């Protein structure tokens, strides 16, 4: 009788242990919750058991680009240093224009293209420039371009901005000097119809303008001999 009672007790205890283990296993299953680290891509699965939350160390190392090492009874998670960033990415960031300056520089280039296009029309059609509408139009477009350059200068705030501004000013100064020479030559009837096509200074200004348009469109500072 006593043996049967002990046997029944053991069976009951075994059943209780099995129930407890089943509950623990059920609690340790993934609960549909994802774990992520701010500033890093990727997610890891979260496990919950006995009121606690667990994350796989290997997945945590993967998310943070870290590494795991084992020393005796210790597991060491090594995270990348904050200053060990990609030098290529840092260089690209430093070469980028600030948004206010880039926007102002693009507007300045648009004003410069209008000015240059107007000069081209006047040169190709042989309009007089010493007095009258053509001369006033040249001055108006030139003043508008100068104002746009001044606005870009005000918006410059980084090293890349100032480097881009230098090239932008060079282009404006070259174009202004050429325009003054153009007006003087046209007034004295020394301007030929092939002046722009054969003029090295005019072609350099055109090449610099094309380069600047592409540079500001890309948003990063570059350099070209045509703008020097």
Q: What is the mean pLDDT of residues 222-226?
A: 92
CB contact at 8 A, 43 and 55: no
Q: What is the pLDDT of residue 32?
A: 56
Residues 71 and 66: their CA atoms lie apart, in Å, by: 16
Q: What is the pLDDT of residue 28?
A: 47
Confidence of residue 82 (pLDDT cuts 50, 70, 90): low
CB contact at 8 A, 209 and 109: yes
| pLDDT surpassing 50 at residue 131 | yes
Q: What is the mean pLDDT of residues 172-200?
A: 77
Q: What is the pLDDT of residue 6?
A: 47
| pLDDT surpassing 60 at residue 71 | yes
Q: What is the pLDDT of residues 9-40, one digit of tens each?
A: 444 444 444 444 445 554 445 455 677 776 67
Q: What is the pLDDT of residue 88?
A: 52
DSSP 99-149: HHHHHHHHHHHHHHHHHHHHHHHHHHHT---SSSHHHHHHHHHHHHHHHHH
| pLDDT surpassing 70 at residue 132 | no
Q: What is the pLDDT of residues 134-148, one digit of tens each?
A: 778 888 999 999 999
What SS3 class is residue 164?
helix
Q: What is the pLDDT of residue 218?
A: 92
Q: What is the pLDDT of residue 18?
A: 43
Residues 72 and 51: their CA atoms lie apart, in Å, by: 29
Q: Chain-wide mean pLDDT for the chain? A: 77
Q: What is the pLDDT of residue 90?
A: 60
pTM of structure? 0.60
Q: What is the mean pLDDT of residues 70-96?
A: 67
Helices marked H in the chain: 2-27, 57-63, 87-95, 99-125, 133-155, 159-187, 195-198, 200-218
Buried b (16+ CB within 10 A) or exposed e, 65-90: eeeeeeeeeeeeeeeeeeeeeeeeee
């Amino acid at each position: 009788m006593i043996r049967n009672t002990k046997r029944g007790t053991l069976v009951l205890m075994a059943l209780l242990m099995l129930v407890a283990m089943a509950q623990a296993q059920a609690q340790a299953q993934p609960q549909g919750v994802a774990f992520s680290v701010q500033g890093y891509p990727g997610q890891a699965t979260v496990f919950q058991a006995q009121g606690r939350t667990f994350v796989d160390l290997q997945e945590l190392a993967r998310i943070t680009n870290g590494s795991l090492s084992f020393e005796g009874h210790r597991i060491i998670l090594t995270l990348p240093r904050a200053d060990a960033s990609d030098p290529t990415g840092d260089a690209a960031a430093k070469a980028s224009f600030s948004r206010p300056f880039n926007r102002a520089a693009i507007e300045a280039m648009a004003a410069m293209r209008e000015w240059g296009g107007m000069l081209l029309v006047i040169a190709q059609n042989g309009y007089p420039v010493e007095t009258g509408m053509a001369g006033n139009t040249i001055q108006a477009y030139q003043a508008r371009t100068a104002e746009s350059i001044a606005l870009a200068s005000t918006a410059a705030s980084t090293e890349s901005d100032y480097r881009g501004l230098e090239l932008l000013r060079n282009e404006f100064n070259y174009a202004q000097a050429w325009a003054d020479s153009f007006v003087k030559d046209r007034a004295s009837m020394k301007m030929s119809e092939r002046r722009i096509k054969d003029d090295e200074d005019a072609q350099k200004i055109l090449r610099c303008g094309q380069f600047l348009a592409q540079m500001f469109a890309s948003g990063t500072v570059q350099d070209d001999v045509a703008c020097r």
